[in-house]
Amino acid sequence: MNRILSFVTTAALLATVPAGAQMQLPGEQPAGMPAVAGPLTVKYKTDADRILTAAMADNDGYAALAYLCDHIGKRVSGSPQLLTAIEWGAELMKNAGLQHVKVQSVMVPKWVRGSESATVTTTGKGAIKKPLHMLGLGMSVGTGKDGITADVLFVPTFAALDALTPEQVKGKIVLFDPGWHGYGVNSQYRTAGPSRAAAKGAVAVLVRSATGLAMQTPHTGTLRYDETMPKVPAAAVSVEDALMLERLTKEGPVQVHLQMDAHMEADQKAGNVMGEIVGSEHPEQVVVLGGHIDSWDVGQGAQDDGSGIMATFEAVSLIHKLGLKPKRTIRVVFWVNEENGGAGGRAYREMIGDTIGDQVAAIEMDGGAEKPLGIGYGGFGAPRRPAAPAPGAPATGMAPAARGGLDMSTLSEQEKQSYVWMQEIAALLKPIGTDTVSPGGGGSDIGPITADGVPALSPRTVGLHYFDWHHTEADTLDKVDPDDFKRNTAMLSVVAYVLADMDGRLAGRKSTLRE
Ligand SMILES: [Zn+2]
């Protein structure tokens, strides 16, 4: 647990909600402020146009992503593929001519899935026995050799669980399916559900996959045990199977046999990969951007977060290729262990130490390279994390106040000025159609530094399909549209360059969630 509040759902969300997706519900566009041209637009128009043209003509970034996906592939913390990816990433940065390329050593947890299965059985008329489409949740314990066989108890929400007595839950396999209310809400059942059910005596937990699309694809992702509760095995089932189990439990007793070999092994050495364009006037001041190099142990980690590390890398590489020399340093970082621990983000914070004041801005891309709409920045006036569903109330994904956009009256003068600058920078992005600025922005890897007041930014996208294949076997290269990838790269490159070169500095705000 880090310095962020140990309140379990909040901490779990910090580690698992990707940037760019935090405030978006399916199909809901962030409340964006339009671009407004101003002095920064005029000053950087020529450089920005060069960057945009180069980025939209560039195929190297996508080619590197294709190599990562097809030749290195999935790269969960503790795996040999992760080490291969780290070595390859450092080579890529060196070959691109970045300076100070290094791998910061970070110890990461090693969770091993092993073999796993789940079978549903009913008795009586129309009795069935069939396998379920499942994926064990990351960091779950196993079931033991014999597996666990128990009756399924369908529980729609945490509020419904709270209303049950321990006698009603004891010895059962709890199935959570609140319906789909957006990732911020649904992922809480995955992260906190196992311990909350165990607290009432459940022997195992199944959760509906955290997705809005039913394609018989189970979605994994990390759980987070409450150390004061018994650790019970937990798995995600496909949306279809969750709904079938729900129907069956309304007819009569339903049994599931769950078998999982999942276990932890000794922590492994891994690392954060980083490289720089050193600033010409203020080399000690840093604009940092990046994503996470680890993925889950399924699929290729293409959108999550191969697209993020490759788009941020290419954004920096292009600035170097064009011979642009920003006054401050631009650093690209491939953080490690975002998915199941956040060790990379914490190690980066430790590396920065007392020089935190020199981190000028932090940009994280971890929401997939879908069509970008603009940049999320700051999050002032709107909670960065969705609110937990109130007991008994249908989950909405976020507090109503977050939907109305930015309340400028709550901002300091420096914060207002920062939004003006961001709108002027956004005006440079008009040619590629990514010219909005919205409250929000951030990510779990940069969380430890943005909590200490470093201004947080992240791309905002249409957010239509990211959670369709997130954490599944289907997160493969074909899901990343090359033109959308280029637009993300182009946008990140202009934003990073201007932030690193402009006279002013954006306002940041320390997180109130710190202990
Ligand atoms: Zn991610």
283: CATH: 3.40.630.10
User: For the sheet containing 134-136, what is the strand order?
Assistant: 129-131, 116-121, 255-260, 148-155, 173-176, 204-208, 234-237, 134-136
Residues 137 and 95 in one domain: no
pLDDT in tens, 395-445: 333 333 333 456 778 889 999 999 999 999 999 999 999 999 998 889 999
Tokens of 158: 């945490």
Residues 149 and 208 in one domain: yes
The phi, psi pair for 67, rounded to 5°, reads: -65, -50
Residues 66 and 155 in one domain: no
Picking from 105, 16, 165, 18, the residue whose alpha carbon sits closest to that of residue 461 is 18
Distance CA 116, CA 135 (A): 8
For residue 15, pLDDT beyond 50: no
Residues 78 and 208 in one domain: no
Cα(368) to centroid of ligand 1, in Å? 8
Cα(366) to centroid of ligand 1, in Å? 5
Mean of pLDDT over the chain = 90
Picking from 401, 265, 351, 304, the residue whose alpha carbon sits closest to that of residue 75 is 304
Distance CA 356, CA 450 (A): 10
User: For the sheet containing 33-34, what is the strand order?
Assistant: 33-34, 436-439, 372-377, 456-461, 359-364, 282-292, 328-335, 263-277, 99-112
Percent of the chain whose pLDDT exceeds 90: 85
| 441 Cα distance to chain centroid | 12
pLDDT in tens, 337-378: 999 999 999 999 999 999 999 999 999 999 999 999 999 998
Domain that holds residue 125: 114-261
Q: Is position 277 within any domain? A: yes
Q: Is position 333 within any domain? A: yes
Higher-confidence residue of 238 and 33: namely 238
Cα(423) to centroid of ligand 1, in Å? 27
pLDDT in tens, 115-130: 999 999 999 999 999 9
For residue 2, pLDDT beyond 60: no
Instruction: From the candidates 116, 276, 314, 338, give the one annotated as an active-site residue.
Output: 338
| 306 Cα distance to chain centroid | 12
Residues 337 and 435 in one domain: yes
- Is residue 106 within 8 Å of residue 274, measured between CB atoms? no
Residues 181 and 303 in one domain: no
Q: Is position 400 within any domain? A: no
Q: Is 338 a catalytic residue?
A: yes
pLDDT in tens, 459-472: 999 999 999 999 99
Cα(223) to centroid of ligand 1, in Å? 15
Q: What is the mean pLDDT of residues 279-289?
A: 98
Residues 119 and 103 in one domain: no
510: pLDDT confidence band, cut at 50, 70 and 90?
A: confident
Q: What residue spans of 24-164 are helical by DSSP H? A: 39-57, 60-67, 80-95, 158-162
Residues 255 and 328 in one domain: no
Of 246, 261, 276, the residue at which a domain comes to its end is 261
Distance CA 68, CA 488 (A): 18
Q: How many domains does the chain have?
A: 2
Distance CA 272, CA 291 (A): 10
Cα(65) to centroid of ligand 1, in Å? 15
Distance CA 59, CA 416 (A): 37
Q: What is the mean pLDDT of residues 72-82?
A: 98
Distance CA 501, CA 55 (A): 19
Of 239, 261, 283, the residue at which a domain comes to its end is 261
Please give the pLDDT value at position 240. 98
The residues pairing with 274 across neighbouring beta strands, listed in sequence order, are 102, 333
Q: Is position 132 within any domain? A: yes
Of 221, 236, 261, the residue at which a domain comes to its end is 261
- Is residue 510 within 8 Å of residue 455, measured between CB atoms? no
Picking from 275, 276, 441, 272, the residue whose alpha carbon sits closest to that of residue 364 is 441
For residue 267, pLDDT beyond 70: yes
Q: Is position 284 within any domain? A: yes
Measuring CA to CA, how many Å separate 312 from each of 86, 194, 294, 493? 15, 35, 15, 8
Q: Is position 512 within any domain? A: no
Which amino acid would we find at residue 32? Answer: G
Residues 252 and 311 in one domain: no
Q: Is position 489 within any domain? A: yes
Q: How many DSSP H helices and E strands does the chain contain?
A: 15, 17
3: pLDDT confidence band, cut at 50, 70 and 90?
A: very low
Cα(46) to centroid of ligand 1, in Å? 34
Residues 224 and 356 in one domain: no
Distance CA 150, CA 34 (A): 55
The DSSP output letter for 389 is P
Identify the CATH number of the domain in which residue 154 sits.
3.50.30.30
Residues 326 and 351 in one domain: yes
Q: Is position 6 within any domain? A: no
Cα(466) to centroid of ligand 1, in Å? 10
Tokens of 413: 């003068």
Please give the pLDDT value at position 32. 81
The residue length of the chain stands at 515
Please give the pLDDT value at position 24. 43
Residues 242 and 315 in one domain: no
